[in-house]
Structure 1
């Protein structure tokens, strides 16, 4: 059994697409997955499955959620190992702890085309920094994430891929939960 983390995009934000985590857990339990655990209201699900194709899992999850909820929810799926690599690959090291900056990771649905990554690289913010590594964009926010230039919508528009963002504490908590599976 492989261990996976499903990251739902845009639920429980500003009163939109409201899903209680106990209901989300129940929806996942109707799928061919096991050991389902959720974490906080932003749509994080850790589970195990025999399926080894993350794209097939993503399509299954999105289909089942649409069927149960009556609306679409975009999902990014990572394996336990991919999440661990994302943590180990943090290009900002201890910069978050050094000041009041907060670190976020935007999980992308795929690796952006080189031209899109170059367009994004040409953009700068006086307040925030980002680093694009593979299928993750690391964002060091010196103000609030809500004021950051590098929002999900911005990244999606510039990179042409889906993005869903989690703060560094959540990323590490999900890795710890996956390690317990």
Structure 2
């Protein structure tokens, strides 16, 4: 039996008093799905766990749907969930096109997507209009450099509009969280 480590990224919980999910209850729900070594990080919907990788050829999708179902049953609202295995999270970290070591965590963000993105989705967006902010596409991920942080980022706001994310699950994490999720999903 092969055990792999995963991170579940919950979208839009505990933001502005909406969709409140206590982290202790989230850990219990994920443990109830048969996962082990369950840990949460921050209150914004990051949970790491270990699971039998041989059980399902598409363990990420199966785990995400199971967590969504458990959350819906427990709290009565829908939460989009992406589950990603450690190797993927590490590859996203390693492929960063920006000088992450030279930046503050609040200046660099990764938006994880449920599917691969194509440049055509962003064809109408004029990158020069948002300089010095920049974005780059990765493997089911978008890297955003926002020198003044995401809270005031005009490019970040534009990239999160439904027209660009239509039909996809998308959830963003700052660089500090990206690094921490790689650490938490590393072999114990």
* TM-score of the two chains, using structure 2 as the length reference: 0.85
* Partner of residue 13, structure 1: 15
Coordinate RMSD, CA, aligned = 2.2
Unaligned runs of 5+ in 1: none
Take 1:114 and 1:99, find their aligned partners in 2: how far apart are those partners? 27
Alpha-carbon distance between aligned partners in 2 of 1:166 and 1:68, rounded to the nearest angstrom: 25
Aligned to 2:177: 170
What per-residue deviation string (whole Å, max 9, x for no partner) do you get for residues 33-59 of structure 1?
A: 111011111110110111442111111
Q: Taking structure 1 as reference, are residues 143 and 69 closer, same or farther at Cα in structure 2, changes over 3 Å only?
A: same
Number of residue pairs aligned between Structure 1 and Structure 2:
179
Q: Distance in 2 between matches of 1:133 and 1:56?
A: 23
**Cα distance change of structure 1 residues 98 and 179 upon mapping to structure 2, 3 Å threshold:** closer
Contact conserved, 2:5 with 2:86, CA < 8 A, in 1? yes
Q: Aligned runs of 1:15-164 on 2, under 5 Å?
A: 15-50=17-52, 51-52=55-56, 53=58, 54-94=60-100, 97=102, 102-120=107-125, 122-123=126-127, 124-148=129-153, 149-151=155-157, 154=160, 156-160=162-166, 161-164=168-171
